Structure 1
Amino acid sequence: MVGATMRNTWIPFYALLIGWLIFQYRKQAFGLVLTLVLAVVLSDQMASAVMKPLTLRLRPCHEPALQKLIHPVLECGGTYGFASSHAANTFALAMALWLLIGKRFGWVRWVFLWAAVVSYSRIYVGAHYPLDVLAGAGIGVIMAVLCVNGYQYVQKRFDRVRK
């Protein structure tokens, strides 16, 4: 779980995904990758810059009443944990991929399993409560839907201009 929760663990996966999208989609790849990045960035900011300062909910590893019950395996991280940025980011990526290419490539559904494992790892290492992770996943899904809808709108507008 420690490996799953570390962001650097997944850099090869992200690089492989971007390379595959470029190979598979060539000219469309820029828009697809930009949509994925935008979904992740917006979900991250919604969780970190909006929800955490708004709710001020302590992470389990910072909660004084839980200190004797929790044995964190990593440094605790920031003071506040609602909502999980890891969950928001991974579910934003999974949902955006699904909406963009899931009909063509069924294997994309497995990216949701990856997002779930990364999200669960945040509970396992004592950084989040289950509700933090569920809220983060919800934020990620919503941001992905918004970004993909925006991408499809822009794509339709450009298609009309080209005709």
Structure 2
Amino acid sequence: MPDSLLNFDRHLFYFINHDLSNPFFDWLMPLMRNPKFWIPLYLFIIVFCIWRYKKQGAILIVFLAMAVGFADYTSASIIKPQVNRLRPCRDPVTAQTDIARVGCGTGYSFPSTHATDHFAIALFLSWIFFKRWKWVLPATILWAAVVCFAQVYVGVHYPLDVTGGAVYGSLVGILFGLGFRKIVPGFRA
């Protein structure tokens, strides 16, 4: 990665991690990036899809789970080890000033698997439900973006990590959305 891009990424990280620091974000952002916090939302999506769309809804949930599983596995087990980018909390340049609001985490930093997974969910659901409910696209993108912002704010990822994860996760979500539409062509949201 070019030095100018690395420096920009570090400066943007510092701005989010330090300059935007406040007690409300200190409380909220660790929650926003915690997958357990979102369990009620995940359960709602599963129950709603199966209740509303029956067999097609069950197939939709299987495709959504495959999208997240694929995004998660490829991000964490294939891409991260190839890129080998250190997390801000382990990077000798940023670790000295990083405000760590959660544990540093294991593994490498690029791409953010949280970002990959949440954008895969967001774009998959948007791809499926946008024609019927236009609000799904901005709502899911906002939700995934908040998770991404939280990853930077708490000090475990750089902005480019979450951006890369968002782009990759979006592509995975759309790919699996297309696959679902191919398998269930008569699905009407």
Question: Same-fold call, TM > 0.5?
Answer: yes
| 2:179 equivalent to 1:134 | no
> Hey, what does 1:107 align to over in structure 2?
135
Indicate if the aligned counterparts of 2:80 and 2:110 stay in contact, CA closer than 8 A.
Answer: yes
> Hey, what does 2:88 align to over in structure 1?
60
Structure 1 residues without counterparts, runs of 5 or longer: none
- Give 1:134's aligned amino acid: T
| 2:106 equivalent to 1:73 | no
> Hey, what does 1:24 align to over in structure 2?
52
Paired with 1:107 and 1:27, the residues of 2 have a C-alpha distance of 25
The structure that is helix-richer by fraction is 1
- Give 1:19's aligned amino acid: V
Indicate if the aligned counterparts of 1:61 and 1:70 stay in contact, CA closer than 8 A.
Answer: yes
Indicate if the aligned counterparts of 1:4 and 1:118 stay in contact, CA closer than 8 A.
Answer: yes
SS in 2 for 1:139: helix
SS in 2 for 1:60: coil
Indicate if the aligned counterparts of 2:112 and 2:161 stay in contact, CA closer than 8 A.
Answer: yes
Deviations 1:80-126 (A, max 9, x none): 11000100011000100011111112231201100000011000011
Paired with 1:144 and 1:67, the residues of 2 have a C-alpha distance of 33
Q: 2:39 aligns with which of 8, 11, 19?
A: 11
The TM-score with structure 2 as length reference comes to: 0.79
Deviation of 1:18 after TM superposition, in Å, equals: 0.9
Structure 2 residues without counterparts, runs of 5 or longer: 1-28
Deviation of 1:45 after TM superposition, in Å, equals: 1.2
Greater Cα shift, 52-61 or 102-111: 102-111
> Once superposed, which parts of structure 1, at least 4 consecutive aligned residues long, lie more than 4 Å away?
none
Q: 2:173 aligns with which of 117, 138, 144?
A: 144
Paired with 2:183 and 2:99, the residues of 1 have a C-alpha distance of 48
- Give 1:62's aligned amino acid: R
CA RMSD of aligned residues (A): 1.2
Report how many residues are paired.
157
Paired with 2:85 and 2:37, the residues of 1 have a C-alpha distance of 27
- Give 1:121's aligned amino acid: A
SS in 1 for 2:184: helix
Deviation of 1:155 after TM superposition, in Å, equals: 2.5
| 2:122 equivalent to 1:94 | yes
SS in 1 for 2:146: helix
Greater Cα shift, 74-83 or 104-113: 104-113
Deviations 1:31-77 (A, max 9, x none): 11111111111111121011110000000011122222112011000
Indicate if the aligned counterparts of 1:46 and 1:139 stay in contact, CA closer than 8 A.
Answer: no
Paired with 2:180 and 2:89, the residues of 1 have a C-alpha distance of 39
SS in 1 for 2:120: helix
- Give 2:121's aligned amino acid: L
Paired with 1:102 and 1:54, the residues of 2 have a C-alpha distance of 35
- Give 1:108's aligned amino acid: V
